[in-house]
A and B are shown apart, each in its own frame.
Chain A
Amino acid sequence: MTFSVEKGEFLGIMGPSGSGKSTLLNVISTIDTPSDGTVKIGGKSIIHLDEDELSNFRRKKLGFIFQDYNLLDTLTIKENIILPLSLAKVSVTLIEEKVKKISTILGIDSILSKYPYEVSGGQKQRTAAARAIITEPELILADEPTGALDSKSSMELLGSLSGLNKQNEATIVMVTHDAFAASYCSRIIFIKDGLLDCELERNGSRKEFFNEILKTLSLVGGDSNDIV
């Protein structure tokens, strides 16, 4: 399976459980290494990077919204969000400014001083998203970012992702089950058993795209409950 993502694209990856979506994302993010094949970002292979280059890449170029949040329970919500900035030694005023902006957008500004185990799953997911996008990375990888969100907050999160995509020209690769979430993408690839099944490009409005996705899903046979 070979595919490429253009800079500034908002790519969706869909497919049934076990088709290898998350593995694909992990390989792109360098968390996992592929048994075969290469991943090139900006024309440069990232497979054979050494330890330091890997962490540099993850920190500077990449924002990863994990399915299982991966928040540190020793840090407050705010501290979790600013972690990448503090590691990059960004000034305190800039940190405060950014965290205020982003937490307002994602609606988590009221829980900033709480600890992860004190907030709900949706709030944790938004925190994870905030942490991933606060550095305004060139590449954002999102693994089921709306999985634990109600429809309102999932709309807000997707809205801010697509905002980042448009304003900052950030490239986004998002794995999702959810056709509604997928409809925010500009292009969707469907994979099945580790192989590229088909591709879908958005031409018209989001509503039309949403219907197209549903149609394709029924053809390629995504998880039936996702379609409804």
Chain B
Amino acid sequence: MTLFKLALNNVRHNFKNYVSYFISTLSSVCILMIFYSIYYNREIQSFSAEKAKVIILFKVAAFIVIIFSALFIGYANSFFIKNKKKEVALYSLLGMKKKEIGRLMFFENIFLGVLALIIGIPLGTCASSVFLKLLTVCMKSDTAIKYTFDARSIVITVLAFMVIFLLNSIKAYSIIYKYKLMELMHADKEGEKRPKFSKLLALVSLIMVGSGYFIALNVQLSGGIQMLYSAIIIMVLVIAGTYILFNNLIIYMFKIFKNNKKMYYKGENLIGISQIIYRIKGNSNLLATIAVISAVAITALCFTFSFYMFLDKVVPNGCPFSIMYQGGNEDLDKSVEEIINNHKENKVTYKTDIVMINGNGLTQQYKGPFGKDLKAPFNVFVISESEYQDIVNNSGFNTGTDIVERPTDIKINKENQCYFIELSSLASGRGRLTGDELNTTIGEKSYKLDISDSDVTGVLGVKFQKTTIVVSDNFFKELLDTNRNNLTIIRAYNLENPLKSENIVSDLSEIIPKDRNFDSYYGLYTWSYTNYGSYVFIGMFLGILFVVSTGSILYYKQLTEAYEDKNRYEILSKIGISRKEILRIIVKQLGLIFGMPMLFAIMHSTVALGVYIKYCANGGSTSKYIIECIGGMMGIYVVIYLCYYLLSIKSYMKVITNK
């Protein structure tokens, strides 16, 4: 029998032992295949070619998927090898040469890998069309993206996995040379060494994670290179801290528990805790890895999900009416009206002309839009208080979907007072400029106005947005008389069903000239979803990939341990420990194994998301809404993870009670 045949037979006859390794490999192949099928999809390619950011995002994600597949298969491989060490020792004992056994392991690995590729590639291809549908849903696009075959996706998947398999096979091959026969025979006694740890490092890990959190929560998000540096510092501190923490602090804490005889000698703790301590050294790097990956996954999922949910709510802010354009031209107004009336399926529910006077101004604190210092007067729109109220009450702000609240209780008591609307990236800033003085020139005259109230929430949408001042109706009338030729008028319509106004919008966009700033709710809505849908999709894809693989890694790890523990539980049963008690021990033991990384993952991601919330929305209903989204998503993540926990308990029990 040739070595190759022996390897082939090994796989065929011991398939049960190979199943868990094979499934891990297969799912990694599938995931990579799905991802690259989408990446190389013709429509996605042509779509993302226009947007540099989407391409970069896809590239980064593709890189993460490959790295992650390698990590995942690497873990699966080391469990696999661990289970095989005895077999290897037996071959060695029977007189096989190291070289031969090494080659045997190598062939076995390659064979499994090739099999995974042969099955995984068609499977991944099929699955990718499902994921493309999901992407379509994310983009809220009416036309489905069709699956297109691209050989490059297969080539990349095969290449990536060939490298991964080769590395794993080399690792398997080298095991033979690294270990002595005796060590291989007692492979299942590995990890038995009494865990070592350092109290100093335990403290250091706490300081590292703590200071990472501190910097994250206190650094000013100013953008630019400085923010990047602090982000890297935070990442390094927290990730390295987590690894050191799991290798030292956690062990230290168990040791403290062990020294508390009152607790340790109570009931099942003795068995459960000693089992964990027995394994902790071999597990701590895995647990730390899972904590870090889960933290990244939770953060990515929560961020993209809340962002996506948020998208719906910010469209009215971008375009408060169904149809908006710069009016004032009678011919244009007439033909627009005609087109809208021709579409009988979508009735007009509201129509208005927003009349604004052009001017410019200068204040002490506010020197230009978005924190710029223009060193010269900035342009402003002047509108009347009743106009402001009309917009707030009749536009899309009022449909309940918009979450940016606009003040309706603005305080303009005297004629020389105004309500000042900043153009700003701040999430909130009501009353920031109150008490400041505005020097403004409107038409030919100059005025001094007291800013009695201010906010950062504009009411004109993105195409018309400009620093806006709201003045009393009387003063506005006065201004209007002298500024008849200095007006900007926005013609705005609300339709019964703005999301079904595709035809109206496309007809109108043909006749309204570009300089008339035509904008529509429908247009902005579809633009937002096609643009950000792919970000969300990638975030979700990675999130799902992470939760599934971390769950599976822990599951397989527990299963491997269950086989090693089987004998121990038989002993326990012999000395009179009931099934119920064994179940309790396992629930506790696995609970700690699954719980510890999740606890740190949630802590890490809560801090990261806290920064996001702080930056995006300072209090108010916006942040409440984001917190709800994040909470919901975290809940879902934890529930999926919990399923793996319960599944592990079930399988663990099955393994140890099965005679």
A-B contact pairs, 18 of them (CB 8 A): A29-B574, A31-B574, A52-B578, A56-B576, A70-B571, A70-B574, A73-B568, A74-B275, A75-B274, A82-B265, A82-B270, A83-B575, A86-B270, A87-B268, A92-B262, A95-B261, A96-B261, A131-B575
Contact B266 A89 (CB under 8 A): yes
Chain B residues with CB under 8 Å of A55's CB are 573, 576-579, 581
Which candidate, A33-41, A60-68, A160-168, is the interface stretch facing chain B? Answer: A60-68
A84 to B576, CA, bound (A): 8
A72 to B577, CA, bound (A): 13
A84 to B274, CA, bound (A): 15
* CB proximity to A under 8 Å, residues B253-268: 261-262, 265-268
A58 in contact (CB, < 8 A)? yes
A89 to B572, CA, bound (A): 16
Is chain A's binding surface mostly helix, strand, loop or mixed?
helix
Is chain B's binding surface mostly helix, strand, loop or mixed?
helix
A52 to B573, CA, bound (A): 11
* CB proximity to A under 8 Å, residues B569-613: 571-581
Q: Which of B270, B277, B573, B576 contacts A60 (CB 8 A)?
A: B576
| Contacts A62-B576, A95-B261 known; 4 new A-B pairs at CB < 8 A | A58-B575, A71-B571, A74-B271, A92-B265
Distance of B290 from chain A, by nearest CB (Å):
23
Q: Count chain B residues whose beta carbon lies closer than 8 angstroms to a beta carbon of A.
A: 27
A58 to B570, CA, bound (A): 13
Interface residue ranges, A against B (CB under 8 Å)? 29, 31, 51-52, 54-60, 62, 64, 66, 70-75, 79, 82-87, 89, 92, 95-96, 115, 117, 131
Distance of B577 from chain A, by nearest CB (Å):
6
Contact B575 A64 (CB under 8 A): yes
Closest to B571 in A: A70
A57 to B578, CA, bound (A): 10
Contact B575 A117 (CB under 8 A): no
Most buried by B among A29, A52, A55: A55
A83 to B270, CA, bound (A): 7
Q: Known contacts A74-B568, A92-B261; is A79 also within 8 Å of B270 by CB?
A: yes
Q: Known contacts A74-B274, A87-B267; is A59 also within 8 Å of B579 by CB?
A: no
Contact A89 B267 (CB under 8 A): yes
B278 in contact (CB, < 8 A)? yes
Distance of B278 from chain A, by nearest CB (Å):
4
Most buried by A among B270, B275, B576: B576
Chain B residues with CB under 8 Å of A131's CB are 575
Chain B, residues 543-575, CB within 8 Å of chain A (1/0): the string is 000000000000000000000000010011111
B189 in contact (CB, < 8 A)? yes
Contact A72 B574 (CB under 8 A): no
B192 in contact (CB, < 8 A)? yes
Chain A residues with CB under 8 Å of B581's CB are 55, 87
Distance of A221 from chain B, by nearest CB (Å):
32
A74 to B561, CA, bound (A): 13
Chain B residues with CB under 8 Å of A92's CB are 261-262, 265
Contact A59 B261 (CB under 8 A): no
Q: Which of B275, B568, B574 contacts A58 (CB 8 A)?
A: B574
Chain B, residues 390-418, CB within 8 Å of chain A (1/0): the string is 00000000000000000000000000000
* CB proximity to A under 8 Å, residues B235-289: 261-262, 265-271, 274-275, 277-278
A84 to B267, CA, bound (A): 9
Chain A residues with CB under 8 Å of B271's CB are 72, 74-75, 83
Most buried by B among A58, A66, A71: A58
Q: Known contacts A74-B275, A89-B266; is A64 also within 8 Å of B578 by CB?
A: no
Task: Return the 3 tightest CB-CB contacts between A and B, nearest first.
Answer: A59-B576, A58-B576, A55-B578
